[in-house]
Structure 1
Amino acid sequence: MDDLTYTLRQLCQRNRDGSHATQADRQRSLSLAARHLREAGFRQMRASSLKGRHVDALLERWQAEGLSAGTLKNRLAHLRWWAEKVGKAGLIAADNAQLGIAQRRHVSQESKARALGDGLDRVGDAHVRMSLRLQEAFGLRREEAIKFQPGYADRGDHVALKGSWTKGGRERCIPITTPQQRAVLDAAHALAGAGSLIPAHKTYIQQRHTYDGQCKAAGLSHMHGLRHRFAQARYAALTGWAAPADGGPTSRLLTPAQRVQDAEARQAISRELGHERVQITAVYLGR
């Protein structure tokens, strides 16, 4: 292992920001960057050696490979993390447009919502079934639903998610607004007790593999669509009309008063889904 890869790995191990999945993605991305820098002729580098010419070389290669804007943004986010941790936070422009990366437009008028339906009955693992029910009821991500601890999360009128469960390590709360949500939580209590939805004899990674295998065997795919379903249901509850992606009116057809409601609903849903930017709700709700 070369010095750069080794010192980057040490940097990641000393700074465990975000969820386990985020940490793993970051380490993979930085190891790839180290290999690409080595292939570009940069030798005897360490993590602290990062300079503008290294960033330029990586960006030139990645753009030449025709990577999507989303992939480029993710890799740049990891490079910015690297730069920040070695005291060079201003090395990479904060605005991706300055680096020649086009803005990704989140516009969808076609619903990607999914329901579990009878597919849930084909899932043999009780913990996986419960994780899927929580995803549908509360719009949770896969990792959040696997790590879910009902004894901690259930606060009566809302569920509280730990930062160690969530993307980016951001804690958040989701209101309990329906009898169906309460019923799912009660069932989660009965199954997990004081623990989580990871069986006591398994690690998170092992249970994630079980989750993926069970979903595949049951013919369940695109389970991220359960978050779309949750978002669209919340939008209808908060506004009184269906989201554009669910057949409702687009924003240009709303009255001024309805646009205020629309904006407030999107802000609330963005928080409940764990996103920092309200614009991301267009992916789930349409415009």
Structure 2
Amino acid sequence: MAAILNIRAVVRGHRLTPPMAEALIRLFDEHVSAVHSTTRISTKALSIKTQERRTSAICRAFVELREGGFALASPWNLRSKHVAWLVSKWVGEGQSGGTIENKLTYLRALADWMSKTGVVGTLGDYVDRREHGLVRSYVAEADRSWAANGVNATEKIEAIAQTCPRVAVQLKLQAAFGLRLEESFMLQPLRAVRDTGLLAVTRGTKGGRARDVPLEAKMAVLEEAARFCNPVTGSTVPEDRTLKQWRDWYYYVMERHGITKAGLGVTSHGLRHQYLQELYEKVTGVAAPVKQLGTRPDPALHAEAMRRVVEAAGHSRVTKANAYLSTFARQERLAKPLVTLAQAAVALQAAGGNKSHAAAALGISRQALYRLLASG
């Protein structure tokens, strides 16, 4: 039997007025499981995890509006000015462009359910993304692996094991198989191993997209994880804690050991980056572009490595590998010194006003030159 989100429990977990809560529950009952996309048509329901995130994000937005002085009696009272206020608040709090875009996507779905199309725009409709440092990139510019940030994964995980062996085991699973956080929580070590030497990653995956990951010589990690199996669920989440309680404890342990952006400059997700970068290097014999070593592999090996990385990561498009590996072109561009407005003016004068020639002399595109001149 398919799992069903307890919408009422999620909504009533937020400080909403009874009329607002009831109106939202009616909307969620009818629409929350439906895919909301202009590019993907699907009759398949959203995962329970995504439904819960969508529900919670919308509820929190209305709580924030009420705390900000907007006494909306119903979601049907949502106007463009309310969305603009929320975006301003989120930007002021330093939230990332990706986080804000996700929240706007959820609100846009809500608006469409109410036939209020156009009330919720994209982030760029409210702020200058470049000015606020909110440009969202799907190509890695910085290396997020632990190794690149001077953190020895083996030593740090052993230190974490002294605080909580269960958390340490889940970090080992992430490092050994490139698992996402939720995947390491939900993995059933005693049931996931296939006879073909593969690990079946089926629970907690993004978009419900299952995949098989090579076991290689990493059975010891699974054997250790198996000792912590929950006898009821088969996962490594303790029997006496809910998934949310376990996630909260996990993040507490991470923070205690400095595994945060503000601490050591890494998060546990960096272990997944490290795994996929190592896979690329194993296939090509060359370090991933994000390592900034400049050596390019054989094109055929590069293509094969990209395919293998995407497959191991559980994505559907080859370009998704760039989020972990970067590209050689991006790294070369980042290595170049920034062209100043004064340099552009000199080059333009030397080229007799010809912008194409000036851009070529500066080593930038003509579009980049136009943007630079417009900024002055």
Q: Over the residues paired in the alignment, what is the CA RMSD in angstroms?
A: 3.5
Could you tell me the TM-score, scaled by structure 2's length?
A: 0.60
Identity of aligned residues (%): 26
| 1:241 to 2:270 alignment | no
Secondary structure of the residue aligned to 1:91 is coil
Which residue number corresponds to residue 268 of structure 2? Answer: 223
Q: Deviations over 1:233-276 (max 9, x none)?
A: 111123232101234437xx56xx51x54344334423432345
User: Given the superposition, is the C-alpha separation of residues 95 and 128 from structure 1 closer, same or farther in structure 2, using an over 3 Å criterion?
Assistant: same
Residues 138-168 of structure 1: CA deviation (Å, up to 9, x unaligned): 11122221221113322233222335x133x
Moved more, 238-247 or 272-281: 272-281
Asked if 1:174 corresponds to 2:202, the answer is no
**Cα separation, partners in 2 of 1:92 and 1:183, compared to 1, 3 Å:** farther
Task: Please give the per-residue CA displacement for 1:87-146, whole angstroms capped at 9, x wherever unaligned.
Answer: 75x935999488467551234454221152212222232322211110101111222212
Which of 153-162 and 98-107 deviates more?
Answer: 98-107
Contact 1:162 1:171 in 2 (8 A): yes
Distance 1:262 1:95 in 2: 38
Which of 179, 188, 193 is the aligned partner of 1:154? 193
- Kept in 1, the 8 Å contact 2:230–2:239? The answer is no
Cα displacement (A) at 1:223: 1.4
Structure label with greater radius of gyration = 2
Render the CA deviation track for 1:66-101: whole Å, top value 9, x for unaligned.
Answer: 7243233111221244346x375x935999488467
Gapped regions of structure 1 (runs ≥ 5): none
From 103, 115, 132, the equivalent of 2:171 is 132
Give the Cα–Cα distance (whole angstroms) in 2 for the partners of residues 97 and 71 of structure 1. Answer: 10
Q: Does 1:196 align with 2:235?
A: yes
TM-score by length of 1: 0.76
Separation (CA, whole Å) in 2 of partners of 1:280 and 1:19:
24
Partner of 2:145: 113
Structure 2 counterpart of 1:79:
107
Match for residue 8 of structure 1 among 7, 18, 24:
24
Of 208, 213, 220, the match for 1:183: 220
Q: Which residue of 2 aligns with 1:60?
A: 84
- 1:225 alignment partner AA: G
Decide which structure has greater helix share: 1
1:9–1:152 Cα change, 3 Å: farther
Is contact 1:232-1:242 (8 Å) kept? yes
Specify every segment of 5 or more residues in structure 2 that has no aligned partner in the other structure, as ranges.
Answer: 1-15, 34-45, 130-134, 147-151, 261-266, 328-376
Which of 114, 136, 139 is the equivalent residue of 1:104?
136
Higher relative contact order (CA 8 A, sep 6+): 1
Which secondary structure does the structure 2 equivalent of 1:150 belong to? Answer: coil
* Post-superposition offset of 1:190: 4.1
Cα distance change of structure 1 residues 241 and 93 upon mapping to structure 2, 3 Å threshold: farther
Q: State the partner residue of 1:213.
A: 252
For the residues of structure 2 that align with 1:37 and 1:95, how far apart are their CA atoms?
A: 17
Distance 1:267 1:278 in 2: 6
